[in-house]
A and B are shown apart, each in its own frame.
Chain A
């Protein structure tokens, strides 16, 4: 039996005066998608992909003209500088692109990812083997402004535990692939934080392959950069495999922040929770969230829920939010999705102001409150505090811009 429930609703809020949330919940059962996600073309060789027109499913909401050098151009694929805080049970080293693990978690589904794959010379390998490994922070602060490729392999050995933070700052014109191999019964968290400079461009594909009874919490936090597109896909291949895919983004004027999230349920009793939240402020602030969930025939007893919420703080922004759910088995424990893009809730503002709290502080409370549940789930107090501060900073910008107008 095949039930397909594609959702291709684009929620757009552009200069509207609408109050409250535009809600989107289930609907549209019975429609058959033009192409199921599982049939999307994939290859590690850039020449296998035709030239990008901007009309492809993978590119149609991305400003391809701002990233064309990463899609087509020559890339620096050599080693780069990074700093790492060591943790017991975790080793970090450069490996050759012939490393046996490379290519085992997934393959590029778009030309920019394939371009990186074809030109990268070395891969950064992060191996977690300890049963109680600590937190590893990898800081990339000096990638420079020439186009470059990167490849990272994160391998969590069976039964291992650990938390990996990939922290990105400074300049970048980067296209990269990140493979995450989660061994049986391992339990890891991978957080990628983008606090790039204003002119940075970053395209990334993350491929997680999750084994039997293994669990990954994958978190994407994007605050800084000109165009940042992080596409995490998770392949739940082992019985009982589990993913929490979380995301937080805050787009200012002129920023394009995008994430295409894909969860492929391919084994019985797998579970996924996708929860992305975004805030937008300033003219031309643009966000895209596409959430594809595929529950294959093999994935009986699957439990899945995905949601995306966007909070619009000023006029002139646009948030696209597109959940897709494809279900190929009749035997599931649960599957659902929700998407909402809304203006700042004036009733919340009124309530707080009626208790004497000034408008700017009331706004800060509401926005921080909206984003905080994602931050709190990261599991690293130091990073959580940094991110709360960074969100405060973003909000100070709103106040300045509204005061100034």
Chain B
């Protein structure tokens, strides 16, 4: 049983004003097949956690560990982490001019699997995944994320999730900027991946809305760089009614 473990993680970022600590001791264990929601106010460090798991060079791990089935994730390069089975659906995917979606997907799949996918199967898989995500087939020939709307970028992230078949996926605010229809389509994609590959999910979100479509097993409230409270799906309902104020004032009085 695969497991992603984060232990007492402290992370900082270099700014013009000096080193700024962001994560202040995060503990989290995700087993394959589980869905964990991380909810928290703006600036609490959610994306920092996501980027640190993926290995973005901007973030410095000061202490703590991240392991995947006991393997030291922090010792791996960004691409090694992806090949080990980690996936990050980005909050703001970047444009890559001159690189078509088709070329990008095939190159990524080949890198992850260590061999080129059988061509006929692959074309079929890409087509049906795009269809499921209601992506027009013309997307295949467009450049990666170039001129994509916010919602199209998010679908493209989930398309990659479905095709690359990681063990664990971190979804950083995949729900933001989506209308209800798009939110349903994207959620269905995540649920398909969960069903087909028993994916473990770390679902970062600001709103409870997406949790109606992707049921979390656990909910963690993220405040000021650490987990302030955790519980089951019912915690999300409480947050929906009460907001984050309770946690913010708690922090302020500490």
| Binding partners A and B | yes
* Residues of chain A at the chain B interface (Cβ within 8 Å): 345-348, 350-359, 361-362, 365-366, 368-373
Closest CB-CB distance, B218 to chain A, in whole Å?
25
* Contact, CB under 8 Å: A351 / B98: no
Give the residue of B90, B96, B108, B111 whose beta carbon is less than 8 angstroms from that of A369: B96
Residues in A neighbouring B164, C-beta threshold 8 A: 355-356
Known A353-B77, A356-B108: A348·B88 in contact at CB below 8 Å: no
Least CB distance, A371 to chain B, in whole angstroms: 7
In the bound complex, do residue A354 and residue B111 qualify as a contact, i.e. CB atoms below 8 Å apart? no
How many B residues are at the interface, by size bracket?
A: 20 to 34
Option from A346, A353, A366 in Cβ contact (under 8 Å) with B96: A366
Give 22 CB contacts A-B under 8 Å.
A348-B95, A350-B54, A351-B94, A353-B77, A353-B78, A353-B79, A354-B54, A354-B55, A354-B78, A354-B90, A355-B108, A356-B82, A356-B111, A357-B79, A357-B111, A358-B79, A361-B107, A368-B99, A369-B97, A369-B99, A371-B98, A373-B98
Cα distance A356–B108 in the bound complex, in angstroms: 6
Q: Mark B103-117, 1 if CB is under 8 A from A, else 0.
A: 110011001100000
Q: How far is the CA of A251 from the CA of B53 in the complex (A)?
A: 37
The answer to whether residues A370 and B98 also contact, given A351-B90, A358-B79, A359-B77 and a CB cut-off of 8 A, is yes
| Contact call A354/B99, Cβ cutoff below 8 A | no
B174 to chain A, nearest CB (A): 15
Evaluate contact between A365 and B99: CB separation under 8 angstroms: yes
A373 neighbours in B (Cβ, 8 Å)? 97-98
A79 shortest CB reach to chain B, Å: 41
Give every chain B residue within 8 A of A372 (Cβ-Cβ): 98
Give the shortest distance, in Å, between A270 (CB) and chain B (any CB): 29
Inside 8 A of A369's CB, which chain B residues have their CB? 96-99, 143
Chain A residues near B87 (CB-CB < 8 A): 354
B231 within 8 A of A: no
A351 touches B93 (CB 8 A): yes
B31 within 8 A of A: no
Is B112 a contact partner of A352 (Cβ separation < 8 A)?
no
Q: What's the Cα separation between A355 and B111 when bound, in Å?
A: 8
- Shortest Cβ distance from B173 into chain A, in angstroms? 16
Known A350-B56, A369-B99; judge A356-B83 contact (CB<8 A).
Answer: yes
Point out the residues of chain B lying under 8 angstroms from A346, CB to CB: 57
A353 to B112 alpha-carbon distance, docked (Å): 10
Q: Does B160 contact A (CB under 8 A)?
A: yes
Query: How far, in whole Å, are A171 and B246 apart by their CA atoms in the complex?
Result: 76
Pick the residue among A348, A359, A370 that contacts B94 (CB under 8 A).
Answer: A348
Contact B97 A355 (CB under 8 A): no
Instruction: List, in ascending order, chain B residues with CB within 8 A of A361's CB.
Output: 107, 111
Interface set of B (CB-CB < 8 Å, partner A): 54-57, 77-79, 81-83, 87-88, 90, 93-99, 103-104, 107-108, 111-112, 143-144, 160, 164
Measured in the bound complex, the distance between the Cα atoms of B97 and A346 in whole Å is 14
Which are the 6 A-B pairs with shortest beta-carbon distances?
A369-B98, A356-B82, A355-B108, A353-B78, A356-B111, A369-B99
Residue pair B98, A355 in contact (C-beta under 8 Å): no
The answer to whether B160 and A352 have CB atoms under 8 Å apart is: no
Q: A358 CA to B111 CA in the complex, in Å?
A: 8
Given contacts A354-B78, A354-B79, A354-B82, 18 further A-B contacts (CB under 8 A): A346-B57, A348-B96, A350-B78, A351-B93, A351-B94, A353-B82, A354-B55, A355-B104, A355-B111, A356-B112, A356-B164, A365-B96, A365-B99, A368-B99, A369-B98, A369-B99, A372-B98, A373-B97
Asked whether B107 lies within 8 Å of A357 as measured between CB atoms, the reply is: yes
B112 nearest CB neighbor, chain A only: A356
User: CA A119 – CA B194 in complex, angstroms?
Assistant: 76
Closest Cβ of chain B to A341, distance in Å, is 16
Give complex CA distance A3, B71 in Å. 66
Cβ-closest chain B residue relative to A368:
B98
Residue of B nearest to A367 (CB): B98
Using Cβ atoms and an 8 Å threshold, which residues of chain B touch A358? 79, 111
A359 and B79 form a contact (CB under 8 A): yes
A357 CA / B108 CA spacing, docked (Å): 6
With a cutoff of 8 Å between Cβ atoms, the chain B residues found around residue A366 in the complex are 96, 99
- Closest B residue to A19 by CB, please name it: B58
- Known A-B contacts A355-B160, A356-B111, A361-B107; the reply to A345 vs B94 at CB < 8 A is yes
Query: In the complex, what residues of A have CB within 8 A of residue B144's CB?
Result: 351
* A351 near B96: Cβ-Cβ < 8 Å: yes
Q: How far is the CB of B101 from chain A (nearest CB, A)?
A: 12
Closest-CB distance, B136 to chain A (whole angstroms): 22
Expressed in whole angstroms, the Cα–Cα distance for A365 and B144 within the complex equals: 11
B96 and A352 contact, CB distance less than 8 A: yes
In this complex, the member of A350, A354, A370 whose beta carbon has the largest number of chain B beta carbons within 10 angstroms is A354
Which B-chain residue is minimally distant from A349 (CB atoms)? Answer: B78
A359 to B81 CA separation, bound complex (whole angstroms): 13
For the complex, what is the distance from the CA of A194 to the CA of B111, rounded to whole Å?
Answer: 35
Closest to A372 in B: B98
Known: A369-B97, A369-B143, A370-B97. A354 touches B57 (CB 8 A): no
**Which residues of A lie under 8 Å from residue B94 when comparing CB positions?**
345, 347-348, 351
B241 to chain A, nearest CB (A): 36
Residue of B nearest to A376 (CB): B98
CB distance from A372 to the nearest CB of B (A): 4
A373 closest partner in B (C-beta): B98
Closest residue of chain A to B90 (Cβ to Cβ) is: A351
**A363 smallest CB distance to B (angstroms):** 12
- Residues in B with CB closer than 8 Å to A370 are 97-98
In the complex, chain A residues whose CB is within 8 Å of the CB of B95: 348
